[in-house]
Structure 1
Amino acid sequence: MEVERVQALATVGLDALPAQFVRPSHERPENSRAIEGMTVPVISLSQPHHALVRTIHEACREWGFFLVTDHGIPPQLIRRLQEVGGEFFRLPQEEKEKYANDPSRGSFEGYGTKMTKNREEKVEWVDYFFHLMHPPCKVKHEVWPQHPPSYREVTEEYNKEILKVTEVLLELISEGLGLEKNALKATLGGDQMELEMKINLYPPCPQPQLALGVEPHTDMSAVTILVPNEVPGLQVWKDGSWFAVDYLADALFFHVGDQIEVLSNGKYKSVLHRSLVNKEKTRMSWAVFCTPPHEALIGPLPGLIDDHNPAKYSTKTYAEFRHRKFNKLPQ
């Protein structure tokens, strides 16, 4: 089945947005404006340990989201990651199509356009490239872009660095929950914990006030660590309002995902977020989803439940959770 790519649509110079991209009135950015200028938590990993555990605990509890600075990933590596991702999306359309995925057949890795329709039959203004980065035994390099030639080298280097940061943050979150520092990583599969890369491309949109790059959602991951380009668009939900997240050069954008909400028995909430688009500029983001293996059993951690705090979530495999989330079934 031939899929209409958003990037290809954008390049023909549309004056008006095709009907399938026009959101219902209550979802449109023009009718659901975000609060601007309020700073979301920004956390430096260079803080003293006890302060770091406390500030991350507060950010996870209050926001489910924070920006990470002084994380140790070289800025030049982040630039190179962004360059090779941008180069892929500048390839001729027929070249990109060689990597097309087919979610209808369970083939999620590769080049895609999210045309999964919601109840209102509306779709999102985004193309993407998705693939597994870790653990090595599950990586399929044949689905990674062959062009530019440096894509694999750069992405493998970034994988090593983001894995280190993920492990540090999972330890700090474990301690914030009053657990042993390796508690979360062990539950998420230890060395078999998976890292998935998703490069999102949001082309210029003729009527951005009517569209969404990604509709409001929570991530089914344990945590998501994202770097954007300089074009803003990410918004997070807190206390009944959307909050615009400003760009901060070289910072990592950290999201609490569904699995941490379950494991923490609701102490930390999976952050609801959405992505807006721009009339003149292309927005891009590089999201790394940290997930357990499909067979891993995920439920509230025993150390966080007792007679006064009963389990609020059922225990199930991550595969079962994914199936239910994809099909909008109750968990």
Structure 2
Amino acid sequence: MARLVSSWYKNVKNMPEEYIFPPDKKPGKFITACTENNPVIDLASLDHDPAATIQQLTKACQEFGFFQVINHGVSEIIIDDTSNVYKEFFDLPSEEKAKYLSVDPKSHCRLYTSTYNYATEEKHFWRDNLTHSCYPLEDCMQFWPEKPIRYKEIVGAYSAEVRKLVLKILDLICDVLGVEKGYFSEELSGVNLLSVNHYPPCPDPTSALGMHSHCDPNLITILHQGTIHGLQVLKDGQWIWAEPLPHAFVVILGCQMQIISNDKFKSAEHRVVTNSEEARTSLGTFVLPSPECYVEIAKSATKASNPQRYKSYRYKDFIGTYGDKSGNHKEVLSSYYLP
């Protein structure tokens, strides 16, 4: 089993060779952050100007594939407490964290470094990850870590609040897509995974990656990224920062949303870069269809000028294809094109 980066990074001054990516994959020189490239939606505006909010959301889904939400209703205290719990978790002694080490995707709670394919991948990512289910809470919490002591209490409260936000955002997307509220029902959004990425300070951020360029295979991802730069989204051939706004959530559209919208929406291609000064911990809630759920294009997304582009499929089959194609989202999507 590979050792967690968080357990040994303090002992190295130079970048280990196995973490140095080839020139064509290195992040290279970072572009200047630009808030103009960040669609930010104030959910409080729904009370006095819902039409303008939906217009903003429509543009973000069509042009960016991601947006940030503020005044979203999730308590700032809960967000801060949860972030602190995960800082404590990744600072735990190695022997305590080792209780959760696993590369088995069927494990109820798994901690690993880089990716599941650590043993076979050519280069490793500068990250550790803890993943477990977070909905329904009563079915999940028994598998969560016992330490830090308040883990279940705090993460449980956070997961419950984020689930409410998930449903609110999905109903807003229903308005944009022109389907009835509740369209993204339990079948399409009934599996929620909390995926926590921890990126320790890196000796050479220009040579390493926290995570490679990819599109999420799920429906949407709700991400709290804190106040440290790291997440970048590909927009018009250029990597732009998803500007870290205090207590905001980044909403990333996944491949399922692109397919259901018949390509009206785009799935955001994104990656994570590192920094040499501070550890960065992001909290991602991945909203997935149930494995047996059949995914198909919404009828409102098709018309004579934009006929149906994708065939329907079971979500578990899509995930199988995603794995077979090593997460290459363009190849995966093309596998489901109608002839």
Unpaired runs of 5+ residues, structure 2, are 327-331
Indicate which of 277, 282, 289 corresponds to 1:280: 277
CA contact (8 A) 2:2 2:118 kept: no
Instruction: State the 1:120 CA deviation.
Output: 7.4
Contact 2:9 2:200 in 1 (8 A): yes
Give the 4+ runs in structure 1 shifted more than 4 A.
117-120
Note if 1:146 corresponds to 2:146. yes
Alignment of 1:1-331 (within 5 A): 2-12=1-11, 14-30=12-28, 33-39=30-36, 40-47=38-45, 48-103=49-104, 106-107=106-107, 109-115=109-115, 116=117, 121-136=122-137, 138-139=139-140, 141-185=141-185, 188=188, 193-328=190-325, 330=332, 331=335
The residue identity in structure 2 corresponding to 1:73 is V
Mean CA deviation greater in 201-210 or 154-163: 154-163
Q: Aligned pair in 2 of structure 1 residues 108, 126: CA closer, same or farther (>3 Å)?
A: farther
Contact persistence 1:99–1:143 (CA under 8 A): no
The CA deviation at 1:109 is: 3.0
Secondary structure in 1 matching 2:44: coil
Percent identical residues: 32
Q: How many residues align?
A: 323
Instruction: Provide the C-alpha distance between the structure 1 equivalents of 2:121 and 2:191, rounded to a whole number of angstroms.
Output: 33
Q: TM-score, normalised by structure 2?
A: 0.90
Secondary structure, counterpart of 1:7 in structure 2 = helix
CA–CA separation in structure 1 for the residues paired with 2:63 and 2:86: 33
Calculate the aligned-residue CA RMSD, in Å: 1.9
Give the distance between the partners of 2:81 and 2:148, measured in 1 at CA.
Answer: 11
Assess if the C-alpha contact under 8 Å between 1:171 and 1:185 holds in 2: no
Q: SS at the partner of 2:24?
A: helix
Structure 1: 5+ residue stretches without partners: none
**CA offset digits 1:232-281 (Å, max 9, x no partner):** 11111111100012221111111111111111111111100111111121
Give per-residue Cα distances to partners, 1:197-217, cap 9 Å, x unaligned: 011100111111100001111
C-alpha change, 1:96 and 1:254, in structure 2 (3 Å) is same
Q: TM-score, normalised by structure 1?
A: 0.92
Q: Deviations over 1:269-301 (max 9, x none)?
A: 110011111112101100001111111111212
Give the deviation of 1:98 after TM superposition.
0.3
**2:9 partner amino acid:** A
**Aligned 8 A contact 1:52 1:172 in 2:** no
